[in-house]
Amino acid sequence: MPDETPPTPPLPPGKGGVPDDGQGAVVVERRTAKTKPPRMYQVVLLNDDYTPMEFVVMVLQEYFKRDLETATQIMLKIHHEGRGVCGVYSKDVAATKVELVLAAARRGGHPLQCIMEAA
């Protein structure tokens, strides 16, 4: 029987002893990507004359994980200065916390306002 070997495919230029003429060669430089940290937003509670101080303290403890002393200090700052920063978060986390606080205030029948602004 004759020995049947499949034909070998041609090699690309520059391989297997065939000289490469440099035509069509592409040199790619590797650049390190410089990523910026995400923009941060602060969640702010606004003072009103109707929301009980105890409710504000509860919101700070439940949604912002503040201890009783810190929550009380932030609540007093809101009461005296008209606003207080509850925390600084990435955009999605800050928006979620604002919605959670507003929903809790509505459930409790309080007009408490919570906003987010660029830090």
Hey, what domains does the chain have and what are their CATH numbers? 50-118 (3.30.1390.10)
Predicted model pTM:
0.71
User: pLDDT tens digits, residue range 65-106?
Assistant: 999 999 999 999 999 999 999 999 999 999 999 999 999 999
- pLDDT, averaged across the chain: 89
By three-state DSSP, how is residue 85 classified?
A: strand
User: pLDDT tens digits, residue range 1-20?
Assistant: 556 666 666 656 555 555 55
Give percent of the chain above pLDDT 70. 81
**What are residue 89's phi and psi, to 5 degrees?**
-140, 170
By three-state DSSP, how is residue 33 classified?
A: coil
**Cβ pair 66, 60 in contact under 8 A:** yes
**Cβ pair 82, 51 in contact under 8 A:** no
* β-pair type (83-90, 113-118): unpaired
**Cβ pair 87, 97 in contact under 8 A:** yes
User: pLDDT tens digits, residue range 60-76?
Assistant: 999 999 999 999 999 99
